[in-house]
Structure 1
Amino acid sequence: MSLHDKIQETKAVLEQVLRAHDSRRAAVAWTAGKDSTVVLWLWRSLLLEMNQTPVLAVNLDTGVKFPEVTALRDELATEWAVELKIQVPDVDFLHYPLARDKLECCKDLKILPLQRALTQMDIAALLTGLRRDEHPDRMDRDVWERRQNPDHVQVNPILNWTEMDVWAFILDRGLPYCSLYDQGYRSLGCMPCTQPVELVENGGERSGRDQDKERQMETLRGLGYF
């Protein structure tokens, strides 16, 4: 399938979301990384075309995100008039054992804050930037997924895109992106668990992420991770 066809497929999914849900009950899970920024741009474009507001997004600020990522997030949220909910974890960072137990860390810093944010915002549809090709445990994912706690539908509109599709779209549309990608990062997570990785290496796109956590992706998904 060509990128043009994938874009049309994605737009059709987003239009279906808008037909099924008021824009106030649909939000983009926005990390300010390349994938979710593409989804946010497409969703925002549709809402503007349909004269609908607001453009809602939720960002999980774990407290250990790269400053370049949070700076881009804040800049784009203002420039694109995004109604952004920044959800922070309910932990004592002074004493919290960051990245010691990857499952517990992800649960405390990402999963529980996400569940609180969706409940507080009364979100019925959460749009993500998940792609099948970025991780083996995401190969069997669906565009439409029913999730619990709280009950909502997770929509993965660019699931069939590749890493190169995303970059082709970003460069063609002139979308802003985090400067860390130009420094060898291919996937942006929390600072303790992310490092640069060369595109020419044998490792996958997420090989710069902590591999203990990556091996437990299916378990994290069961706990409520994307």
Structure 2
Amino acid sequence: MNLQSKIEYSIALLRKCEQMALDYDPDNGFYLAFSGGKDSQVLYHLAVMAGVKFKAHMNLTSIDPPDVIRFVKRNYPDVELIKPKMSIYDMALKKHIIPTRTMRWCCAEFKEMSGAGKVTLIGIRKAESVRRSKREEIEISSHKFSGNFDQFSEHKEQMVTCVGGKDKILVSPIIHWTDRDVWDFLNGNKIEHCSLYDEGYKRIGCILCPMSNYKDKRKDCQRFPHVKRKWIQTIQKLIDAGYINHNFTDAEFGFNWWISDKGFDKYYADEVLQQKIEFNE
């Protein structure tokens, strides 16, 4: 399928789902999850092209690249910026754990609850990862359904009545798009992108995201030293409070171990088994 066909398919999907979005939120229609990254930009512009009703929201985490926030404010002033009630550092102290690759509580706390009870547009794509390759164009966040629009339509009444206050119907209009499709769409329509991509960043999400590779984390440390400093301070507080009992020489050593490929995952897994730490207090 060529790019034009994918654009037409995505727009058709948005139009098919619009009434469902209006049923849940007559005033705003779709809840569009926006990040300032290339995929969410495509999602936003497709929604405009489709002529559907939507409201875009960007959930901040307190470790968002300043460049991204400035870009969004300048180019997408209608996007609602939602500030967190608690910084990610304070949340780590509350949970007694910093986020890791296998325990990404940060996504659940700062991102995934947004759009609850609504039809939410997201910019995920199968080509992004093995995990996302298993995702489908329409899903219910509680995993009660995952499939295409026609399959969803067959069971729509049953599915929709299953959606509770914390659930949401997820619609992924660009699920079948490739990286090249995304860039061809933006460049072909002369849509400006965030300058971090021009500096070599492949993704421009949270600074020092646990899912980033070591090379990108080292780059983040150099470009955003204030975030490195805050995490070191947080790790020191966790050490002082006795929640990190590993034999660290100091908090900076602990930080360097955290961003390494080894990270805290195995250590924390052992801690959970030994101490039955509750991470969702």
Q: TM-score range by the shorter chain?
A: 0.7 to 0.9
Match of 1:126, SS state, is strand
The TM-score, its normalising length taken from structure 2, stands at 0.59
Match of 1:41, SS state, is helix
Shift of 1:12: 0.8
Alignment gaps of 5+ in structure 2 = 143-164, 218-258, 266-281
Structure 2 residue aligned with 1:101: 99
Is the 8 Å Cα contact of residues 10 and 157 (structure 1) preserved in structure 2?
A: yes
- Tell me the amino acid that sits aligned with residue 4 of structure 2: H
Structure 1 residue aligned with 2:123: 129
Shift of 1:100: 3.6
With over 3 angstroms needed to count, the CA separation of the structure-2 counterparts of 1:4 and 1:61, relative to structure 1, is same
Alignment gaps of 5+ in structure 1 = 197-208, 216-226
1:168 aligns with 2:184: yes
Structure 2 residue aligned with 1:88: 84
CA distance in 1, matches of 2:99, 2:113: 22
How do 1:132-211 and structure 2 match up within 5 A? 132-148=126-142, 150-193=166-209, 194=212, 195=216
CA distance in 1, matches of 2:56, 2:260: 26
- Tell me the amino acid that sits aligned with residue 71 of structure 1: R
Match of 1:118, SS state, is coil
Match of 1:44, SS state, is helix
CA distance in 2, matches of 1:210, 1:12: 44
More moved, 149-158 vs 9-18:
149-158
- Tell me the amino acid that sits aligned with residue 48 of structure 2: R
Structure 2 residue aligned with 1:35: 39
With over 3 angstroms needed to count, the CA separation of the structure-2 counterparts of 1:212 and 1:139, relative to structure 1, is farther
CA distance in 1, matches of 2:87, 2:34: 22
Shift of 1:46: 2.5
Shift of 1:45: 2.9
- Tell me the amino acid that sits aligned with residue 101 of structure 1: P
With over 3 angstroms needed to count, the CA separation of the structure-2 counterparts of 1:5 and 1:137, relative to structure 1, is same
CA distance in 2, matches of 1:176, 1:185: 16
Shift of 1:160: 0.3
Match of 1:130, SS state, is coil
Is the 8 Å Cα contact of residues 102 and 212 (structure 1) preserved in structure 2?
A: no
- Tell me the amino acid that sits aligned with residue 204 of structure 2: L
1:61 aligns with 2:60: yes
Q: CA RMSD in A?
A: 3.0
CA distance in 2, matches of 1:212, 1:64: 22
With over 3 angstroms needed to count, the CA separation of the structure-2 counterparts of 1:116 and 1:128, relative to structure 1, is closer
CA distance in 2, matches of 1:104, 1:112: 15
CA distance in 1, matches of 2:130, 2:56: 27
Is the 8 Å Cα contact of residues 120 and 168 (structure 2) preserved in structure 1?
A: yes
The TM-score, its normalising length taken from structure 1, stands at 0.72
Provide, for residues 191-215 of structure 1, a one-character-per-residue CA deviation record: whole Å limited to 9, x for no partner.
Answer: 113529xxxxxxxxxxxx99789x9
Shift of 1:27: 1.2
CA distance in 1, matches of 2:198, 2:97: 26
Provide, for residues 51-80 of structure 1, a one-character-per-residue CA deviation record: whole Å limited to 9, x for no partner.
Answer: x5xx412212111111111111112232xx
Structure 1 residue aligned with 2:271: none
What is the count of residue pairs matched by the alignment? 190
Q: Radius of gyration: which is bigger?
A: 2
